[in-house]
Amino acid sequence: MYFITNRSLWRPLAEKLIPTVSLGLGVTVFMFAVTYVPQAAVLSLFNGPLAVFTTVLLVLSEASTLFSVLSKNFLIDDALIDTFDGTLLSRNLTSLVSTERQIKPGSDSVAKLGKIMKKPFARFTPKAIIRYFMYLPLNFIPVFGTILFVILQGRKFGPNAHARYFQLKQMSKSQKDDFVEKRKAAYTR
- What is the reported pLDDT for 42? 93
Q: pLDDT under 70 in the chain at which residues?
A: 119-125
Residue-level pLDDT at 40: 94
For the residues of the chain, what is the DSSP string, one character each? -HHHH-GGGHHHHHTTHHHHHHHHHHHHHHHHHHHHHHHHHHHHHHHGGGHHHHHHHHHHHHHHHHHHHHHHHHTSHHHHHHHHHHHHHHTT-HHHHTTTEEE-SSS-TTTTEEEESS--PPPPPHHHHHHHHHHGGGGGSTTHHHHHHHHHHHHHHGGGGGHHHHHHTT--HHHHHHHHHHTHHHHH-
pLDDT on residue 31: 97
Whole-model pTM: value is: 0.65
Question: Would you state the pLDDT for residue 138?
Answer: 85
pLDDT of residue 32: 97
Q: For residue 24, what pLDDT is reported?
A: 96
